[in-house]
Amino acid sequence: MSEDFDGSGGYEKTHVDENYVRVPVERLFSFVKSVLVRLGVPEGDASVVADNLVMADLRGVESHGVQRLKRYVDGILSGGVNVHPDIRKVREGPSYALVDGDEGLGQVVGRFSMELAIEKARKAGIGVVVARNSNHYGIAGYYALMAVEHGMIGISMTNSRPLVAPTGGVERFLGTNPIAVAAPTGGRPFLLDMATSVVPIGKLEVYRRKGQEIPLGWAMDKEGRQTTSVEAVFNGGALLPLGGFGELFGGHKGYGLSVMVDILSGLLGGGTWSRHVKNTSERHSEVDHFFMAVDVEAFVPLDDFRRRMDEMMAELKASKRHPDFERIWVHGEKGFLTMETRRRIGVPIYVGVLEELNGIGEEVGVGRLMELEG
Ligand code: NDP
């Protein structure tokens, strides 16, 4: 197992080499926010989107960080995203609500909906909010963690455009439909945040920028052959669903989880399923989300829960290790450690992404993010 340390004692989840530049977190955040504000996004909403994208880079999720800003910019410029949405409750009960996102930025619809789920859980013990008519909302974990700040368990899911073939199929049908579950502990929260495909498409975008081949087992070409070529995947191929190690056509478990996400986030709210979801730059992209907050105190005292979570995680980490591994991790831990390091020494941005961000800055008139040294 290879792990990357920054040389100053901090841990980083992903490999950072000379092709990356470090950008202070505040600078990165204000750049993203000012680009969005310049495009007409209200300040508060721009902060939410910037927070979500920068959190992804801080946590080592390069696939869903600021490298995605261009996509949001294109979505706004093409009119696919409504920057002044009328986000409203369509139906509501004490513990649930259905929200219409009015084609707003997914992060803005997502934050609104998770805040509503938390408010409901505070009164009813549990809050479920389904949002339809939204857009790409970035990392699912962002919303699950919001519940943890209130001593609650948070769950968040979204459907996304079709990129994944079902087990036994070759056609892009399912989205990479992520699932995030977060729970409070005495320290860093537990956070499982994952695509239901072997990898999200953003990871292939990172490989494409770097001109690298992908490992076998991630995707197939349009004929259904496993491939290491990123271009073969972008050119009509499909990603494989998670699980089913060794199965040519991907795992039936990831396939099932992906369909579950479509049911809970799409069909339950009268929205759609991945096959009919479109790109952010298109009108009516029809992305749907699911949010759930569970108030721990409604079940057991929160302090007891936190203590027992700590005990379980400590037991997990102290359990007998395989000789090839240096340690046993729990979900979210690598991301939080990476976040702590990057807040201190800066967020690594790949040079190709920096060039693109500088171009966006010039184009919209907020200036360049940063110059390459030397
Ligand atoms: P990863 O495979 O990187 O990580 C999945 C989970 O496993 C994380 O919770 C991670 O925690 C944890 N983890 C990693 N290694 C270990 C280990 N050795 N032991 C225990 N836990 C571990 O995630 P994906 O690439 O699948 O997804 C990346 C992001 O993409 C997610 O944030 C997801 O929400 C987002 N996404 C968004 C989509 C959208 O349409 N909006 C679509 C698809 C994905 P840790 O953070 O600590 O590493």
What would the pLDDT profile of 154-192 be if each residue is shown by its tens digit? 999 999 999 999 999 999 999 999 999 999 999 999 999
| pLDDT, position 8 | 57
Structure tokens at 243: 């699980």
- Contact between 285 and 132 (Cβ < 8 Å): no
Confidence of residue 121 (pLDDT cuts 50, 70, 90): very high
- Contact between 182 and 194 (Cβ < 8 Å): no
Percent over 70 (pLDDT), the chain: 96
Using alpha carbons, select from 106, 186, 119 the residue that is nearest to residue 146.
119
Q: What is the pLDDT of residues 320-372, one digit of tens each?
A: 999 999 999 999 999 999 999 999 999 999 999 999 999 999 999 999 999 98
CA of 43 to the centre of ligand 1 (A): 29
Strands (E) in the chain, as ranges, are 4-5, 11-12, 20-23, 88-93, 96-100, 126-134, 152-158, 179-183, 190-194, 219-220, 238-239, 287-295, 347-350
Q: Are strands 126-134 and 96-100 parallel, antiparallel or unpaired?
A: parallel
Confidence of residue 249 (pLDDT cuts 50, 70, 90): low
Confidence of residue 134 (pLDDT cuts 50, 70, 90): very high
Which protein residue's CA is at the shortest distance from atom 39 of ligand 1?
138
For ligand 1, whether the C-beta of 136 sits within 6 Å is: yes
Q: Residues in the chain, how many?
A: 374
Q: What is the pLDDT of residues 80-102, one digit of tens each?
A: 999 999 999 999 999 999 999 99
Structure tokens at 91: 């139906």
CB atoms within 10 A of CB 7: 7
Angle in degrees, CA 115, 344, 192, rounded to 5: 40
Q: What is the pLDDT of residues 17-61, one digit of tens each?
A: 999 999 999 999 999 999 999 999 999 999 999 999 999 999 999
Q: What is the mean pLDDT of residues 244-270?
A: 87
| pLDDT, position 23 | 98
Instruction: Tell me the domains of the chain and their CATH numbers.
Output: 1-78+333-374 (1.10.1530.10)
3-state secondary structure 214-242: CCCCCEECCCCCECCCHHHHHCCCEECEC
Q: Is the pLDDT of residue 2 over 50?
A: no
| pLDDT, position 187 | 97
User: What phi and psi, each to the nearest 5 degrees, are found at residue 88?
Assistant: -140, 160
Confidence of residue 152 (pLDDT cuts 50, 70, 90): very high
For ligand 1, whether the C-beta of 141 sits within 6 Å is: yes
Which protein residue's CA is at the shortest distance from atom 41 of ligand 1?
138
Residue 211 is given by DSSP the state T
For ligand 1, whether the C-beta of 61 sits within 6 Å is: yes
Does 322 participate in catalysis according to the annotation?
Answer: no
Per-residue burial over 209-246, b if 16 or more Cβ lie within 10 Å, else e, is beeeebeebbbbbeebebbbebebbeeebbbbbbbbee
Distance (Å) of CA 200 to CA 15, 212, 316: 18, 16, 27
Among 1, 331, 340, 342, the mutation site with the greatest number of ligand 1 atoms within 8 A of its Cβ is 331
Among 64, 280, 313, the mutation site with the greatest number of ligand 1 atoms within 8 A of its Cβ is 64
Residue in the structure block whose two tokens are 């956070």: 191
Amino acid type, 144 = A
Residue in the structure block whose two tokens are 């930025």: 105
Which protein residue's CA is at the shortest distance from atom 9 of ligand 1?
192
- In which region does residue 81 sit, left (phi positive, over 0), alpha (psi from -120 to 50) or beta (all else)? beta
Q: Select which of 15, 84, 136, 331 is catalytic.
A: 136
Q: What is the mean pLDDT of residues 195-216?
A: 96
